[in-house]
Each structure stands twice: as C-alpha cells, then as structure tokens.
Structure 1
Amino acid sequence: MCTRIFNNFSAENNYLTTARNMDWATQMPTTIFAFRVTPQNPMLKCGTEIENEHSLIWEAQYSSIVTMVGTEAPFGASDGINSQGLVANLLYDSGASYNREDGSSCKNLDVLRWVQFVLDTCCSVSEVVAKFSKEAETQIQLIGGKVPGSNKKASLHLAVSDLHGKSAIIEVHNGSYIIYEDPEFRVMTNEPSYAKQIELNQFWRWQWNDKNNFPSNTLPGGPFPSDRFARASYYLNHLYDTTSNSDSLTQSKSVVMNASVPVNFKSTLEKYPNIAQTLWTSVASHNNLTYYFCNARTMGEIYMDLNKMNDFPSAVSKLIVVSENDEHEFINHELYGYQNENFTKTVDPFAMTAVLADK
C-alpha cells in the first residue's frame, strides 16, 4: 500500500533525498506537526496513550516535522524529518507481529508513536539500529493500536535514512526486530517480507544487468507491492548522478510517483484488499532539511523548512491538510508553497503533560 525510496547516488555531493507514497483504501484526515525543541524547552513524551510503569518515556532532543494521520487525538505519526537530517517512514506490513515472550520486562511503545520516538531521540541510522538491537540498554516492545479514523490494525514496519548516506529497514516478527542495513536496501514496499522482496528482485536485477547477454528492460506494471518494488528499484538504479539538490528532489519524486496508485483506483481484485490509492507523497531533503508534501487530491505542493523553525508560531504547531466535516466528508485543503508561517499553535499530541505553545 505504500512505497518508499532513498536516493543516495550522489552522496559525495550531499544530494540525499527520501521519498514515499502513502496509500490507503479511503481518504484519511491528515495533519502536519512541527516541533521546535530547544534546551530551554524540552518536551517529555510518552510511548503509550495511558501512562503507566511499563510506558516508554523519552525527552525530545531534536526538532522535527512530522505528518500524522488524524486531526484530533489519537494521532498516528506516519513519517517526517528531524533537525539532524534523519528521515523516518512507517509503511504497512501485513506480516508484522509485536508481542514478545519477555514483554513484561520491556518498555512499551505504541507503533503509532514509533516515528516520533525515532525522530525525537536519534540523529543517525546507526543510532536507530542501536536502539532496536538485541544489545540495546532499554528493551522496547511495540504495541499495536488501530489506525486513526479506521478499524484496521496498525501493522507496520519502519524505514530510516540519514545525511551520511545510510539506510535501514526494520521489521518486527513476534516482537523481535529484524534489521536490514545495507547500501543496496533503498526501496521498500508493503509485502511480502523484505527478505522475500530481495529474493524476488534478483530476477529483475539480472534482467537489467549488463552481464546478461539477453537483457530485458520490461517492467511489471501492476499495483501489487512486488510490482512497485521492481519498478522503483529499476528506475532508482538507472538514474544519472544528480547535479543539484533540486535534481535529487525531483528525481526522487518522479521515481516514487511512478510507483503510485491513481486517485479513485477501483480494484476488482477482492482477494487483494491491500491495493489502495495513493493519498499523498512526501519528499525530504536530508541535507537542506526541507520537507515536501504533495496531496494527491490537490494540484498544490507545499514545503516546510527546518532551518526556519522560528517562523513557526509556537513550540508545537500544526497544519491540517485533510479534514473531515460533520457529514464525514473529506476536505482536501488547497495549499501552495512555503508553509512554516501558516501553521497554528497547538499542544504536543504525545506529551505526558500537554506542553502549551510559547512556553
């Protein structure tokens, strides 16, 4: 239902971008949050909706811009970028399972707060991997809730990338974290497991390989996750090196949108309910600390800049991009261009005690 790519072909030129599609069967209310963290204004956050002795508690160390599902609590953090150039993306994973045998001795983290925890506390992919390794000082058990505005279980896996050119994908099976960390692992879709995706993609990589005496440049054109994985992988590995940050952003956007599903896509395949329309696309520049958001149902493109955090009206600010009225009709707000100054004051949705703006 989603596709994510990390374009690091020109790491030596510092043109690093991550792009992702968010797909869902129906429209969802969506809000972008900005968190301005300073030593004078730390934000203490909780990993579960109801605080208890098993809740993971953390203090935000970095500012961030995060897209969340929902316009009111409970929210679900979907993806974003922090002030250290770390990007985190959550994608649907039908095979995810969170319960651990030793869960009673772990700290609980709602999977819908996973992205926020990572962006608040980590500055690199290596640091994220360390937090979820078997040797981590604090063992973390993910707990699953429901996707806001839906009755569907939040079954998810995580991808992270940074300005050092590193990328990692983390799946969760029976509470254990399976981590894929390799320069080649730059494309991610929903299913099957990442290990199986790599195996399937070997066929296509051979077809495109210069060593193949009978190469085929045909591509699977369907909406299935494995089809989109192959398309995104093909195009990402057949790009000229970028010559500018703008080049990298537009390359990444065009590749990931090539793996999108059209608005109002009508699937006749009832056996495959996980094929869904693309709701929005985000593109993040690791080096320039800019975050772009493209709503598939509007013609506008907006962006936020972490270099200009003082343009946000408060320590915690929000911008509603898709709302829902009393008749349960979705309103896709027509927004264009730079948005820092158009956010409004709000409170931290994951705070232990709500932190008012302009503290």
Structure 2
Amino acid sequence: MCTRIFWNDNPVAKTVARCMDWAVSDESELWYVPAGQQRSGDAGDGSHTWVSQHANVVVSMWGIGTVDGLNDAGLAAHALYLDPTDVSFPAPDQRPAVAHTMWVQYLLDNFATVAEAVAAVEGIRIVAPLLRGESFGVHIALEDSTGDSAIIEPIDGRMVVHHGSEFTVMANSPTLDQQLDNLSRYRPFGGELPPPGDITSQDRFVRASYFLHYLPEPTSLDEAVAGVVQLIANVSVPYGAPYADGGVYPTWWRSAADLTNRTYFFGSTRSPGIFWIDVPSLAGTTEILRLDPRDTSLVGDETSRLEPAALRY
C-alpha cells in the first residue's frame, strides 16, 4: 500500500520518493516545524519528551501524527504500513515510550544522520495505540545526504534494523528479509524471472528495485529528482485497482526529497501539479507554518505560501 525508493548512487544528488496508498484519504497536511519545540511521544504514561534539535518539513496523517518528512540536516524519514500480523512491538519496560504515530517526528527532530538514529534505536520503546479503533503495524525507512539508509521493523518484540546504503527499496508486508529473498528470484538480482506487474507489495518491491537498477545517470539536478518521481509513479496504484479482497487502495499522494539540497517535493494524485518547499530558505523562521497539500493550485516553489498555524499534535 506504500513504496519507498532511494537513489543514492548517482553523482548529482541523493534523492528519495515514496507514495501513500490507503483505502481512504489520510487527510494530509504539510507543516514546517522549527527547532526548539517541546514535544511528547504521545504514548500516555511514561511518554518520552524532548526539545526538537532540527527544523523539518513533514506531512501529517489524520491530524494525529507524522508519516513523512525531511529535516534541515538532510535526514528523511517515512512510515509505511506493515501488516499487524508481521509486527510485534516491544513489551512494556522502563524506557520512555513513543507512539508509532510520532516515530517519524521523533527521528526528524533529534537526528542529523541515519547512523545517529540507528545508534539511538534502543533508547526508546515504540508503542502502537489503536487508530480509529484499529490496530496498525508500522515500519520506518530512513536515509540521509551521505547516501546512508536504514529500515527499522518491530519484529518479535525487538527492533530489527537493516542498516546500509544497499537498502534502497521498501514496500509493505512481508518483512524486509522476506522481500529480499523474493527479489532474488528475479533478474538481475540472481534469478531469471522478469519483473512482475501486479500491485501487491512483493511485486511493487521487485519492480521498484528493477527499474532503479537501470535508471540512467542524471545529467542535472532536475533529472536526479525526476528519476525517483517517475519510478514511484510506476509502483503507484491508480483509482479503482482492486486487491484480491475487492478493496480499493489508491495512491493519494507522492512525495520526494532532494537530501543533498534539502528540498521537499509533494504531489497529490488528485492534482496534475507537483510543488516543493525549499527548507534552507526557511532558516531562522521561528513560527510553525502550514500548507494544504491537497490544494490543486499548488505548483513549483510554494515555500512562500506557508502560513502560521497551530500544530494539532
């Protein structure tokens, strides 16, 4: 239902893209959150608290947490759905807790690199409160401007971390190790099967890996961003595409980030346009700012259209 693709081996810029696929709208809002904010893990008693060290541009879901974003150090983070049957969050202990809805925000607020974030994985406990009465599994993708990457998955009561620049693609269930095992059946990753074309998580993972492998070296920054944008469109789900159970899980939006130059891109699939936010130009801004990313008039650099607002979470 979501996919993430990281292009970290081209000489122009480290770029990443993801799509948000869901049965209903996530009611996305885009926020600029300056450093110095007093934050909470929103996990009830024993919640972790912190003062943010980095400004970031983030996208919220249902007004209750952050699902995607980029900070001023060039670290990006993405929350993707993982089937609850594949997930087992850590049991209660003495560590401060952070709700999975605040996991991305915690990472972007506190760390400048993937290595820093990975080193701090065991310092907090991630919990999974019900959302709209339902249980949601989550796993996290991280990448930074050096080309480093990590996938973090809560499995068997512990955080399983896949850390390294080779982890460039992520989808939904099954877990990453099983996705990689399946990938080895396809060419050019060890097997002889051609790339598949369905909208299932495993097929999207293979297709994203396949086309990323053959993406031509960019000759400009525009091409470095366009490369991941076209690949994430390839694994997005059009309106009306059914899964086996008859449900429809369309792509609501796609985001991208130029980690090298700190630019965050967003495109609603209900709009023909893509717009972006230039994070460095917001340096020194002390107000929380908001933009409605579902506004179909947004196109190009829309940094100046951010407006002061009260963050709801």
Please classify the TM superposition score into its range, dividing by the shorter chain length: over 0.9
Instruction: Note if 1:339 corresponds to 2:302.
Output: yes
Task: Say if 2:5 and 2:18, in contact at 8 Å, map to a contact too.
Answer: yes
Q: Flag structure 1 segments of 5+ consecutive residues without an equivalent.
A: 323-331, 351-359
What displacement does 1:26 show?
Answer: 1.4
Aligned equivalents of 1:29 and 1:286: distance in 2? 25
Partner of 1:143: 127
Aligned equivalents of 1:124 and 1:260: distance in 2? 28
Mapping for residues 95-174 of structure 1, pairs under 5 Å: 95-100=86-91, 103-133=92-122, 138=123, 140-147=124-131, 150-174=132-156
Partner of 2:23: 25
Instruction: Note if 1:85 corresponds to 2:74.
Output: yes
What per-residue deviation string (whole Å, max 9, x for no partner) do you get for residues 277-305 of structure 1? Answer: 11100000001100000100111211101
What per-residue deviation string (whole Å, max 9, x for no partner) do you get for residues 184-222 of structure 1? Answer: 211000011111001000011xx326x98xx66x32100
Aligned equivalents of 2:274 and 2:25: distance in 1? 18
Return the match for 1:182 from 140, 161, 164. 164
Q: Name the CA shift for 1:310/1:169 in 2 (closer, same or farther; >3 Å).
A: closer
Q: Name the CA shift for 1:96/1:334 in 2 (closer, same or farther; >3 Å).
A: farther
Partner of 1:303: 276
Task: Say if 2:43 and 2:129, in contact at 8 Å, map to a contact too.
Answer: no
Aligned equivalents of 1:283 and 1:294: distance in 2? 9
Task: Say if 2:7 and 2:15, in contact at 8 Å, map to a contact too.
Answer: yes
Aligned equivalents of 2:134 and 2:100: distance in 1? 13
TM-score normalised by structure 1 residue count: 0.82
User: Equivalent residue of 1:18, what SS?
Assistant: strand
Aligned equivalents of 1:18 and 1:58: distance in 2? 27
Instruction: Note if 1:315 corresponds to 2:283.
Output: no
Partner of 1:354: none
Aligned length: 311
What per-residue deviation string (whole Å, max 9, x for no partner) do you get for residues 151-206 of structure 1? Answer: 442310000000111011000024310001122211000011111001000011xx
Q: What amino acid maps onto 1:201 in structure 2?
A: L
Instruction: Note if 1:44 corresponds to 2:59.
Output: no
What per-residue deviation string (whole Å, max 9, x for no partner) do you get for residues 28-52 of structure 1? Answer: 3110010122xxxx211110165x4
Q: What amino acid maps onto 2:109 in structure 1?
A: D
Aligned equivalents of 2:237 and 2:37: distance in 1? 37
Q: Name the CA shift for 1:167/1:255 in 2 (closer, same or farther; >3 Å).
A: same
Measured on the aligned residues, the alpha-carbon RMSD in Å equals 2.0
TM-score normalised by structure 2 residue count: 0.93
Aligned equivalents of 1:174 and 1:199: distance in 2? 19
User: Equivalent residue of 1:288, what SS?
Assistant: coil
User: Equivalent residue of 1:196, what SS?
Assistant: helix
Q: Flag structure 2 segments of 5+ consecutive residues without an equivalent.
A: none
Task: Say if 2:114 and 2:150, in contact at 8 Å, map to a contact too.
Answer: yes
Return the match for 2:230 from 250, 254, 274. 254
What displacement does 1:333 show?
Answer: 4.1
Over 3 Å off, 4+ runs: none
Q: Name the CA shift for 1:242/1:346 in 2 (closer, same or farther; >3 Å).
A: same
Residue identity (%): 28
Partner of 2:198: 222
